[in-house]
């Protein structure tokens, strides 16, 4: 299901297996459309400690969602009696094993062109940052062999020359909070060394460690650091809340959504939907029969248009960022933990390194709406939190 920023289910987006659940059944199941806080997912979007929901919110969620939906659908179509909790746990374990046992790494490595997109601009943006004196570091949960294979393909064989520090098998998000794990040096062939780490050096590979030791050894603290990640919880949440780093979220779906938003068909429908809403709001004060009849027709038209605007993005769930007029729950968490977000790190090529991203002033409910400012079309929309963000 899709949930908005205020924990309300967007009716028409609830699926059991591959089939939609009728709105009446959803309302009966949840005694309305609101999902209580105590059954929402935990801080990291997982189902734990009494929280019975899990938030699917990154690219690794796609295979898990597909497997859950298809197996669920298979059982229902063949009238197989099953316990949904067992199904969820088995699928969760299967997805975990694919990672932990290295199955995914071996599959990608065997056919890298199928699974990884070559990024010509990735090398360009990293080189630009490096040439302008930016200190760059990589913190990943993947093993070095896989990282080296992927980065060599995406960025080039010289990718390690662009980074001042490389940390693999970091075990994020524990890396950001657990002080107990020290750094360990790894050779290019994967052998672990025993020496105590007194300095994080360029050209070396380090395993595990923790952020507190990282801060002590580098001195890179607070708003001087801009850290990019594609998981708003595992990558960005702790850095924002606990350590005061600036954060950037990589949201690949943004590229497609902006293209749709820039089409004439979507722009016209969206503009008319907003205008229609304004007309209804202004005209509802008139209680004569003729005015009420007009308002009723407008409400009917508005209700018919809302699903159409949703289907522009995805027939089942609509936009990743919006549930009709409200932000999605994902969008709300994104705004909380990310200073800026974009479709790809290469979007930074569109900006000078002295560029400052200013937060957009969004009118509050008691403020007059601002006049719309036409912006040039682009592939990324920076969206800072309410502080001025600088790439300097």
SS3 content of the chain, % helix, strand, coil (to 5): 45, 10, 45
Q: Which of 277, 280, 384, 371 is nearest to 340 (CA)?
A: 384
Q: Which of 278, 262, 255 is nearest to 342 (CA)?
A: 255
Task: Give every CB contact of residue 26 below 8 A, 6+ residues apart in sequence.
Answer: 1, 9, 11, 14, 33
Please indicate if the annotation marks 288 as binding a ligand. no
| CA separation for the pair 159, 161 (Å, rounded) | 5
Burial of 353: CB neighbours in 10 Å, binned 0-12, 13-18, 19+: middle
| CA separation for the pair 95, 81 (Å, rounded) | 23
Task: Give every CB contact of residue 301 below 8 A, 6+ residues apart in sequence.
Answer: 276
Point out which residues pair with 138 in neighbouring strands: 166
| CA separation for the pair 118, 366 (Å, rounded) | 48
Q: How far is CA 64 from CA 59, 73, 122, 162, 354, in A?
A: 10, 14, 28, 34, 41
Q: 97-136: string of b/e by CB count within 10 Å (b at 16+)?
A: ebeeeeebbeeebeeeeeeeeebeebbebbeebeeeeeee
Binding site: residue ranges?
230
Binding site for Mg(2+): residue ranges?
230
């Amino acid at each position: 299901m899709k949930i908005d920023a205020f924990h309300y289910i967007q009716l028409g987006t609830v699926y059991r297996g591959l089939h939609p659940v009728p709105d009446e059944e959803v309302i009966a199941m949840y005694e309305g459309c609101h999902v209580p806080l105590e059954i929402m997912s935990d801080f990291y979007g997982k189902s734990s400690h009494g929280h019975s929901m899990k938030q699917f919110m990154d690219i690794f969620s796609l295979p898990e969602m597909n497997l859950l939906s298809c197996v669920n659908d298979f059982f229902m179509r063949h009238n197989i009696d099953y316990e949904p909790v067992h199904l969820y746990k088995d699928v969760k374990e299967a997805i975990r094993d694919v990672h932990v046992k290295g199955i995914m790494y071996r599959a990608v490595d065997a056919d890298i062109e199928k699974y990884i997109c070559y990024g010509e601009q990735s090398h360009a943006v990293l080189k630009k940052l490096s040439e302008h004196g930016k200190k760059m570091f990589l913190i990943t949960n993947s093993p070095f062999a896989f990282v080296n294979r992927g980065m060599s393909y995406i960025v080039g064989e010289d990718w390690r020359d662009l980074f001042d520090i490389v940390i693999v098998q970091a075990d994020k998000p524990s890396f950001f909070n657990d002080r107990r794990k020290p750094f360990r040096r790894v050779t290019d062939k994967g052998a672990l060394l025993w020496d105590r780490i007194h300095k994080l050096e360029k050209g070396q590979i380090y395993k595990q460690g923790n952020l507190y030791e990282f801060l002590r050894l580098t001195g890179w603290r607070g708003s001087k650091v801009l850290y990019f990640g594609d998981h708003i919880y595992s990558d960005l949440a702790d850095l924002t809340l606990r350590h005061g780093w600036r954060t950037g979220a990589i949201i690949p779906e943004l590229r497609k959504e902006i293209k749709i938003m820039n089409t004439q068909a979507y722009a016209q429908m969206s503009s008319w939907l907003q205008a229609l809403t304004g007309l209804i709001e202004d005209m509802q004060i008139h209680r004569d029969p003729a005015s009420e009849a007009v308002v009723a027709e407008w409400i009917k038209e508005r209700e018919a248009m809302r699903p159409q605007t949703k289907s522009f993005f995805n027939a089942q769930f609509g936009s990743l960022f919006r549930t009709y007029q409200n932000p999605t729950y994902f969008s709300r968490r994104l705004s909380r933990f990310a200073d800026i977000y974009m479709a790809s790190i290469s979007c930074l090529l569109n900006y000078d390194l002295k560029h400052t991203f200013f937060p957009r002033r969004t009118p509050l409910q008691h403020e007059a709406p601002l006049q719309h400012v036409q912006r040039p079309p682009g592939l990324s929309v920076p969206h800072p939190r309410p502080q001025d963000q600088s790439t300097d």
